[in-house]
Chain A
Amino acid sequence: MALVMKKYTMPEQDPAIRAHNFEEVALGYDEETAIAEASRCLNCQKPRCVQGCPVQIDIPGFIAKMKTGDFSDAIEVIKGSNSLPAVCGRVCPQENQCEKYCVMGIKGEPVGIGRLERFAADYDLNEQQKGAPVQCASDAKKVAIVGSGPAGLSAAGELAKKGYKVTIFEALHKAGGVLSYGIPEFRLPKEKIVQVEIDDLKKLGVEIRLNTVIGKLYTVDELMQEEDFGAVFVATGAGLPSFMHIPGENLNGVYSANEFLTRCNLMKAYKFPQYHTPLKVGGTVAVIGGGNVAMDAARTSLRLGADHVYIVYRRSEKELPARLEEVHHAKDEGIDFRLLNNPVEIIGSDDGNVKSLHCIKMELGEPDSSGRRRPVPVAGSEFDLPVETVIVAIGQGPNPLVQSTTPDMLTNKRGNIIADEETGATTKEGVFAGGDIVTGAATVILAMGAGKKAAQAIDKYLKDKG
């Protein structure tokens, strides 16, 4: 049989239509296409793809099941390594992970591993029987998890399966971390996908205590000493938005991407006034940054009614850190990429609203410490971009609430918790940490990997302790 060199096309909503709704953009393969795409996999003896997957899913294993249409078996294989496949199939930067190493990618396009994973997971969500909730033993040891993002959820799942009584403490009124408040509905449906995966965890007996800020309502020490938790896993993410510290950043109309996306996703401002939280989007919007967060903010602005949306990024297209697919989607939807531009000031009108973004052109110089060529300003190239809204998406740091109330759990200079790479063990006995709070803003699957490793280490720690 001749090799099919290209991936089967992913059906998508028409860009002209989807730019104005919050429905999912990528529609997913149908059964026939999924089987065809699966058939492109060569079932390699030494599958290179697996080394690119941070949680080492048996990729040829699950794809082999899909070739014969055994989707339920396929998902069992995936779930052996990944407890949130419907999420990862959608948001993993596959081009830098599993698919980057696929042999099919050498001469043609790699196998659409993410798309297949998504198909199997969605199939499973539809077919799933409602299993009876699991009850753990009454003398089961208690483990506390702080934060319900991917790191916390995956650790909770692993520990619950091992028979621990797991409680997740979440500051917000919804579980999921960035999956709920950050990544938009049109990329990751909340009710259909995120909530279902979280409910799955609850069936394993995991308790989720929302509206509970650790460091405020309970400290880590109180959890261990007063509430009888044998171990604590801190997975509080990278939630602290960075600003640029340029003039005009406090003007009305300047948002951090976190605020903008939280209002839209968590508070459902896109359903205003049915939902009461407002979100003001001007006619012309500039989003500063080039990562997933920036793409999400830009595409959300379009959907909320902006006429023209710029991405202002100081490096060139090659350096855009966003998932490739999101960059393509953004372009198709009409986002205007202003690359090699750097904002220097936000200009306001007399009434305190944003009037324009003052930028300077950049060119690429010598490589910097990250190996990427450093952008340097071109003298005399300043110009004014008239906009009404500026969304700052230049990164997030660690939220200090837990660290500042847990003095014997040490952090590095940037405020990230110091934790062993293999076990997640922190400098405080019985306390483990993982995900963005340790690594800085990274990816869903890396956070999940950290959660899984920590769960194993916590299991060992509690067993050794007896």
Chain B
Amino acid sequence: MYKILKKELLSPNVWLYDIEAPRIAKKTQPGQFLIIRTDEEGERIPLTIADFDRDKGYISIVFQEVGAGTQVLGQLNEGDSILDVVAPLGKKTHIEKDMGTVVCIGGGIGVAPVYPIARGMHQAGNKVISIMGAKNKDILILEKEMRAVSDEVMVTTDDGSYGIKGFVTNALQQIIDRGEKIDEVIAIGPVVMMRSVVEATRPYKIKTVVSLNPIMVDGTGMCGGCRVQIGEEIKFACVDGPEFDGHMVDFKGLMSRQRMYKDKEKTESDHVCNLTKVKEAL
């Protein structure tokens, strides 16, 4: 059992949990993820390890309530325990000294997984320019944290309520246009966002890394459910990724596969809603 040490609401429906897990904290590297199962009946939910503190022995997750699994997770409180946590999974982000200028882009909740990467890049002495995108000011997360590990931060909001009005790609274009030499872009967020970033950097041949989130089951390479088409090859995102060269990713296939359970999930969400109602009535 893994105890929730801290629970914090970052924005509507988006939670940050610090979870006691000393061994996992010791082994985690930026870019890796975990799989959580809240209870016996729950799904295995993959989430990025948004932060880790090796001394204090905890890891952090930031998640959005989207369907049944994350709703149940969101109902847990400080002091409660999570049944299963498997981690660290996936390959770590490639971080080195002298990589040059790295643009770290986080869209929506994608800022959470970008944060440890930006921090790692910064600690390694690289120039970090971060772009944070959100629909509006109120749902922007982790701004303070990102500022602390970036040489420059640009914020974009869809409605212009804060920072640049527009998408993360608008900010990226500004950086390109001002003549900044970019050595690598890392983009994590909704698939459409990652695809736009990849299309934005393609003409300039800027190396662009994206972190993919296909549907997963085991996370150990055993089921093949997380397969993605990378160039000519089929790769399993849980063991070969989750990060891949964005210019090689078949985004259309990825989006199609993510929709696989849309209708089934609705039945399930209704089921959980009913369970919650029953719980509340009691």
Residues of chain A touching chain B, judged by Cβ–Cβ distance below 8 Å, are 171-173, 181, 210-213, 216-218, 239-241, 243, 245, 249-252, 255-256, 258-259, 262-263, 267-268, 272-278, 280, 351-352, 399-401
Contact = CB atoms under 8 A, between A and B. Distances in A.
B57 interface: no
Contacts of A210: 84
B224 A216 contact: no
A210 B271 CA distance: 29
Given A211-B84, A216-B27, A243-B234, A273 B223 contact: no
B202 to A, nearest CB: 22
Contacts of A400: 221, 239
Give the interface size class of chain B: 35 or more
B64 interface: no
B69 A276 contact: yes
B268 A272 contact: yes
Contacts of A218: 27
B187 interface: no
A181 B271 CA distance: 25
Contacts of B234: 243, 245, 249-250
30 contacts: A171-B86, A171-B220, A172-B220, A173-B37, A211-B85, A213-B89, A213-B220, A216-B87, A241-B222, A241-B224, A252-B259, A258-B223, A259-B224, A262-B217, A262-B218, A262-B222, A262-B223, A267-B43, A268-B41, A272-B267, A273-B68, A273-B267, A273-B268, A275-B41, A276-B68, A280-B264, A352-B256, A352-B257, A399-B221, A400-B239
A256 B217 CA distance: 12
Contacts of B229: 250
B239 A401 contact: yes
Nearest to A273: B271
Contacts of A262: 217-218, 222-223
B10 to A, nearest CB: 24
Contact of A399 (B72, B222, B250): B222
Contacts of A245: 234
A370 to B, nearest CB: 25
B41 A274 contact: yes
B168 to A, nearest CB: 27
Given A272-B264, A273-B267, A273-B271, A241 B86 contact: no
Given A252-B257, A267-B44, A278-B265, A217 B88 contact: yes
A278 B261 contact: yes
Contacts of A211: 84-86
Contact of B217 (A250, A259, A272, A275): A259
B6 interface: no
Nearest to A172: B218
Given A243-B227, A256-B223, 7 more contacts: A216-B89, A218-B27, A239-B222, A240-B222, A243-B234, A267-B44, A278-B264
B79 interface: no
B248 to A, nearest CB: 15
Interface string B239-282: 10000000000100100110111001101100110000000000
A152 B251 CA distance: 40
A277 B218 CA distance: 12
Contacts of A268: 41
A54 to B, nearest CB: 25
Q: Give the dominant DSSP class at A's interface.
A: loop
A274 B272 CA distance: 9
B24 interface: yes
A49 to B, nearest CB: 35
B227 A401 contact: no
B56 interface: no
A255 B260 CA distance: 11
A239 B219 CA distance: 12
Interface of B: 23-24, 27, 37, 41-44, 68-69, 72, 83-89, 217-218, 220-225, 227, 229, 234, 239, 250, 253, 256-257, 259-261, 264-265, 267-268, 271-272
A173 B85 CA distance: 9
Nearest to B26: A217
B41 A276 contact: yes
Given A217-B27, A252-B257, A259 B225 contact: yes
A268 B43 CA distance: 10
Contact of B86 (A181, A213, A263): A213
A352 B262 CA distance: 13
A320 to B, nearest CB: 23
Given A211-B85, A250-B227, A280-B260, A258 B222 contact: yes
Contacts of A272: 264, 267-268
Contacts of B271: 273-274
Nearest to A243: B234
A346 to B, nearest CB: 13
Nearest to A275: B41
A213 B221 CA distance: 11
Contacts of A263: 217
Contacts of B24: 217
Given A275-B41, A276-B43, A280-B264, A256 B89 contact: no
A259 B260 CA distance: 14
Contact of B84 (A173, A250, A278): A173
Contact of B220 (A255, A259, A274, A399): A399
A276 B23 CA distance: 29
Given A274-B41, A401-B239, A217 B257 contact: no
B253 A250 contact: yes
A353 to B, nearest CB: 9
A213 B69 CA distance: 23
A218 B227 CA distance: 25
B70 to A, nearest CB: 11
Nearest to A351: B256
A262 B217 CA distance: 8
A276 B268 contact: yes
A171 B239 CA distance: 13
Nearest to B223: A259
A218 B24 CA distance: 10
A400 B24 CA distance: 21
Nearest to A253: B260
